[in-house]
Amino acid sequence: MSILVCSDTRVVVQGITGREGSFHTAGMKEYGTKIVAGVTPGREGERVDGIPVYNTVKKARQESAANTSVIYVPHQFAPDAILEAADAGVELIVCITEGISTLDMIKVCCYVSIRGSRLIGPNSPGVISPGKTKVGIMPGAIHKEGSVGVVSRSGTLTYEVVQNLSMSDLGQSTCVGIGGDSIIGSSFVDILSLFEEDSETQAIVLIGEIGGRDEEEAAAFIREKVTKPVVALVAGRCAPREKRMGHAGAIISGGEGTADHKIKAFEEASISVAESPGNVAQILRAELEQEGDRQNL
């Protein structure tokens, strides 16, 4: 089983005729994702790698029964692209685009919630359920089908951790990149709750970074609501205060948002924290063995 996407997911690509859209469409299709339509205004009637292109998401969805959208359009057009997908009734919207303004995203997230869609991103590497489907830019080859759920704010760290998990024979149920911006559609808590409800996700890896309070809120939620083993990794231990590091959301302000503050929150919630991407798999393996011992008592 998986969360968010599965082998039945039907994807419409917004921005399919652009350089990024066409390139990653080919990669998703090669992985086995059901790409059923593309959207670029003014290009209706064309085909990209055999996939029909439409002017609007509404028509693409009517013609193809798409239930998921992935967005590769430039940042100045991405807010409207998200709104269009939500208006068309798309259930899951995955926005890869980075550089969208915070003010625009506040309005977009509010509207998406009202329309009943779920947004992943922006500035997200996407979602992958190994062996089933991938929606976004995650490299499929490093993933392995299994029962570890991965949720992360960092795309690059996700790839490094997943590579180590797969090499340690710890396959993944679903990997979700929630995005590194300060305003995003789905939080750690949103995805953690889905993993907790998924009967085939047996353990969870959470990859955080400096900035904001998402990790602290996740730690509190895990302490109260999550029954499965969780291993956390927090990037940015050496980052200077009041300086943005990489992602738009990775800025430390005042006494909160530091790696130490986040690590302390996890430790106080009795959550194991890895010191580096390389030892996540080792710690998780030990957690699973302890869980097995407890169940055998």
Please identify every residue annotated as catalytic. Answer: 247
Distances (CA, A) of 42 to 13, 50, 56, 95, 197: 15, 18, 9, 21, 42
CA–CA distance, 55 with 59 (Å, rounded to integer): 7
Is 198 within 8 Å of 6 (Cβ atoms)?
no
User: Kind and range of the H or E element at 177?
Assistant: strand 172-177
Tokens coding 16: 């399919």
User: Kind and range of the H or E element at 295?
Assistant: helix 280-295
User: Kind and range of the H or E element at 234?
Assistant: strand 230-235
CA–CA distance, 179 with 186 (Å, rounded to integer): 9
User: What length is written for the chain?
Assistant: 297
Distant-in-sequence contacts of 39-48, Cβ < 8 A, 24+ apart = 39/12, 39/13, 39/14, 39/15, 40/14, 40/15, 40/16, 43/17, 46/17, 48/16, 48/17, 48/21, 48/22
User: Kind and range of the H or E element at 208?
Assistant: strand 203-209
User: Kind and range of the H or E element at 62?
Assistant: helix 57-64
